[in-house]
Amino acid sequence: MSHRLFVAIRPSEQAMDAMFDVMDCIEDARWQDETQLHLTLRYIGEVDTPQANDIADALSRIEMPAFDLELRGLGHFSRSHWPHAVWSGVAHSPELLTLQKKVERAVVSAGCEPETRRFLPHVTLARLNRSSGPIGDWMARFGDFHAAPMPVDSFILYESTLTNSGSQYDPIVRFELGKNTNLK
């Protein structure tokens, strides 16, 4: 059986509330719902069940303390000069970069190819298409977005299923931070 996997941090309820407050004013945007909001640490893609189990096992060995993370700023991704997604950025966090590197090493140790794309931490807020309205007014109105720092005490291995109404993300395994970490 094949599984389409990724590793991500689920935002806190308070951070999600702040993101929901800016989800407005772009015509025909497909805004993400609470089950879809996440900060991807590593997209894995299609793997079979034995490799999925190896990935989960490797991720379970990650040790580091919990930390706080702040969502700040907005941006967009474009293809052929057309915006296709808008997102919330993340304030610089050495702890997040450390976690992302540990996740990358774990996934590679489980037999996946190394990621070649640069890590750009963000939470996708909406998907856009050519019929979506312009984003300039939205960026001007909400561009100074920030959410209160949120605790990051775990990360999750998700399975993604493509449906007619978009992707469905199901948490498979949650990995706690700080569980075995010596905090001296």
Q: Which residues are designated catalytic?
A: 38, 122
Residue (of 55, 69, 137) closest to 104 by Cα position: 55
Give the residues across from 122 on adjacent strands: 89
Q: How far are the Cα atoms of 30, 54, 124, 141, 151 from residue 23, in angstroms, in the given order?
A: 10, 37, 11, 11, 22
Cα angle at 102 between 96 and 105, to 5 degrees? 140
Q: Which helix (H) or strand (E) holds 43?
A: strand 39-48
> In 56-153, at which residue ranges do the beta strands (DSSP E only) sit?
67-69, 71-79, 82-90, 122-127, 150-152
